[in-house]
């Protein structure tokens, strides 16, 4: 009697089949309407868990993006992106094989009518919306500088939360603009799980072009369910010769920003009901000395209404570009805060060296805490990678080795073999 194939053997065969389909699919489609992007990643690492030390893992990931349609003329097009993970040699992950379809939708672009429509699973990033929807979307340019967009369907993130009965999401945005002057918009979103009104937001966003290449942008979000301002973000961009100065202000009120409902898919809903607030203010400055050298400085002040106290972060980053694609950089940072975890000095060095068809990457970070955290006063991270471009740079293969040691993970080793394939 012939023994049945092992679980690891079947998983490896499935991964090989996926890679084979990625390579042969372009030859099965005629014309130049297909764009295919594939990322295959094989990892090996070891983790120490509270109840089990030295847990080894050998996962393989496949990411696939497909775009099909006529790029020159107005027509119907298809866009899809998803990922799959296969466990090749351990029991670290709960499920041997898992994956997710991130988006897959048909899009119709009708430029003569200034209309774009989508049907399927898609993401909406407009105004207060930051959501994946299984449904329908439309956006149209109207006369007198008006733009109207709307969407409706079921939230994709809730598809596995107590079923899909009673789930819905809808919203839209209306904006007015004058080219080279400004754009202002009003938006709305309502989301429910099992018929309950979990999210009910309205917002305002704006972008102003001012004289001297100065610009001001920002947004404010109001939680109609809790009757309070959830978020404010505003940034000014001020060019001063070779320096660009960017002061900013952010404010979050946790009771209004985070979703408290048990049926919500929001992962940080436990922060709702704490009554806490967070204000972040500061500035970024960029000095462009020439085409090869760039210097950046960052200052951020964090202020919590309850617990955690306050903290100030200072950072200086310099980057040198060599031979167009190669670059070397360093970063020095300092965090001074009321909490022990918020008092540290940071040093980082990174590089990317292009030696066509080969390339080498490196990144190293050292964090030195003023006081030990869980018995450790330092955190380390180091990564070194070597790669090569093949098939006229359509295929890039890279092997990297990562090491980290910090107060939360002891001696974490990781190796990664990644293949990036582009058919265009």
- Using H for helix, E for strand and C for coil, what is the string for 164-207? CCCCEEEEEEEEEEECCCEEEEEEEEEEEECCEEEEEEEEEEEE
At residue 7 the predicted structure's pLDDT band, cuts being 50, 70 and 90, is very low
Half-sphere exposure of 203 (CA within 13 A, CB side): 28
Q: Which of 8-12, 280-284, 378-382 has the lowest mean pLDDT?
A: 8-12
Calpha distance 7→260 (Å, rounded) = 40
pLDDT value at 21 more than 70 = no
Q: Which residues contact 366 (CB under 8 A, 6 or more apart)?
A: 346, 347, 348, 378, 379, 380
Range 30-48 average pLDDT = 80
**Whole-number pLDDT of residue 69:** 85
Closest Cα to residue 56, out of 46, 64, 67?
A: 46
- Long-range pairs of 348-354 with CB within 8 A, sequence gap ≥ 24: 351/326, 351/327, 352/325, 352/326, 352/327, 353/326, 354/323, 354/324, 354/325, 354/326
**pLDDT tier at 272, thresholds 50, 70, 90:** low
Give per-residue pLDDT as tens, 387-411. Answer: 999 988 889 999 999 999 888 777 7
- Residue 280's beta-bridge partner residues? 250, 302
pLDDT at residue number 267: 54
Closest Cα to residue 223, out of 249, 194, 254?
A: 254
User: Which DSSP helix (H) or strand (E) runs through 182?
Assistant: strand 182-193
Q: What does the block give as tokens for 370?
A: 């003023």
Give the H/E segment covering residue 25: helix 7-28
255 upstream amide cis, omega within 30 of 0:
no
Instruction: Say what the pTM is.
Output: 0.82
Q: What is the pLDDT of residue 14?
A: 47
Q: What are phi and psi of 241, to 5 degrees?
A: 65, -125
The pLDDT of residue 52 is 63
- Checking if the pLDDT of 184 tops 50, the result is yes
User: In this predicted structure, what is the pLDDT of residue 94?
Assistant: 60
Distance CA 392, CA 409 (A): 40
Mean pLDDT on 28-41? 76
Comparing 25-29, 304-308, 319-323, 403-407, the range with the smallest average pLDDT is 25-29
Query: What pLDDT is recorded for position 49?
Result: 59
Residue 161 pLDDT exceeds 80: no
- CA 3, CA 18: separation in Å to the nearest integer? 25
pLDDT at 365 over 90: yes
The candidate with the shortest Cα–Cα distance to 380, out of 414, 407, 362, 340, is 407
Q: For 214-261, what is each residue's pLDDT tens digit?
A: 999 999 999 999 999 999 999 999 999 899 999 999 999 998 988 765
Cα torsion 50, 54, 55, 61: sign: positive
Question: Which position has the token pair 């500061």?
Answer: 282
Tally Cβ neighbours within 10 Å of residue 256: 21
Cα 424 to Cα 66: distance, rounded to the nearest angstrom: 10
Distance CA 409, CA 405 (A): 6
How many CB atoms neighbour CB 282 within 10 A? 17
Q: In the predicted model, what is the mean pLDDT of residues 92-102?
A: 77
Among 66-80, 144-158, 312-326, 377-391, the least confident range: 66-80
Q: Please, is 179 exposed, middle or buried when counting C-beta atoms within 10 Å of its C-beta (0-12, 13-18, 19+)?
A: exposed
Beta partners for residue 304, in sequence order:
278
C-alpha closest to that of 370 among 346, 345, 348, 347: 345
Mean pLDDT of the residues in the chain: 86
Cα–Cα distances in angstroms (integers) from residue 113 to residues 117, 120, 278, in the given order:
11, 22, 44
pLDDT band at 90 (very low <50, low <70, confident <90, very high): low
């Amino acid at each position: 009697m012939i023994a049945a194939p092992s679980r690891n053997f079947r998983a490896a065969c499935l991964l090989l089949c996926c890679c084979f389909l990625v390579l042969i699919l372009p030859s099965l489609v005629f014309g130049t309407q297909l764009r295919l992007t594939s990322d295959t990643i094989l990892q090996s690492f070891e983790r120490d868990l509270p109840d089990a030390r030295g847990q080894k893992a050998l996962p393989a990931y496949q990411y696939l993006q497909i775009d099909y349609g006529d790029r020159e003329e107005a027509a119907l097009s298809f866009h899809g992106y998803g990922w799959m993970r296969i466990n090749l040699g351990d029991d670290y992950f709960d499920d041997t094989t898992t994956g997710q379809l991130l988006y897959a939708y048909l899009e119709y672009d009708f430029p003569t009518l200034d209309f774009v429509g989508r049907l399927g699973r898609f993401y909406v990033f407009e105004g207060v919306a930051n959501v994946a929807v299984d449904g329908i979307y439309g956006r149209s340019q109207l006369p007198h500088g008006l733009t109207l967009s709307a969407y409706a369907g079921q939230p994709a993130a809730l598809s596995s939360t107590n079923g899909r009965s009673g789930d819905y999401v809808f919203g839209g945005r209306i904006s007015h603009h004058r080219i080279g002057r400004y754009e202002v918009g009003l938006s709305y979103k309502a989301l429910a799980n099992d018929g309950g009104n979990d999210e009910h937001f309205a917002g305002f966003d704006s972008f102003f072009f001012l004289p001297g290449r100065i610009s001001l942008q920002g947004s404010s979000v109001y939680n109609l369910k809790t009757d309070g301002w959830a978020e404010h973000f505003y940034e000014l961009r001020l060019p001063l010769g070779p320096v660009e100065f960017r002061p900013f202000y952010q404010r979050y009120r946790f009771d209004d920003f985070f979703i408290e409902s048990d049926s919500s898919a929001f992962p940080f809903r436990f922060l709702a009901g704490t009554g806490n607030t967070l204000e972040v203010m500061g500035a970024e400055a960029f000095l462009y000395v020439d085409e090869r050298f760039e210097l950046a400085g960052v200052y951020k002040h964090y202020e919590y209404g309850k617990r955690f106290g306050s903290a100030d972060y200072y950072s200086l980053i310099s980057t040198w570009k060599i031979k167009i694609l190669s670059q070397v950089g360093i970063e020095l940072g300092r965090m001074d805060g009321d909490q022990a975890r918020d008092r540290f000095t940071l040093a980082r060095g990174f590089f990317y060296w292009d030696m066509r068809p080969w390339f080498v990457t490196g990144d190293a970070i050292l964090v030195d805490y003023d006081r030990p955290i869980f018995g450790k006063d330092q955190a380390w991270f180091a990564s070194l990678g070597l790669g090569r471009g093949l098939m006229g740079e359509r295929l890039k293969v890279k092997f990297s080795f990562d090491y980290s040691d910090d107060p939360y993970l002891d001696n974490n080793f990781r190796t990664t073999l990644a293949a990036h394939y582009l058919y265009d």
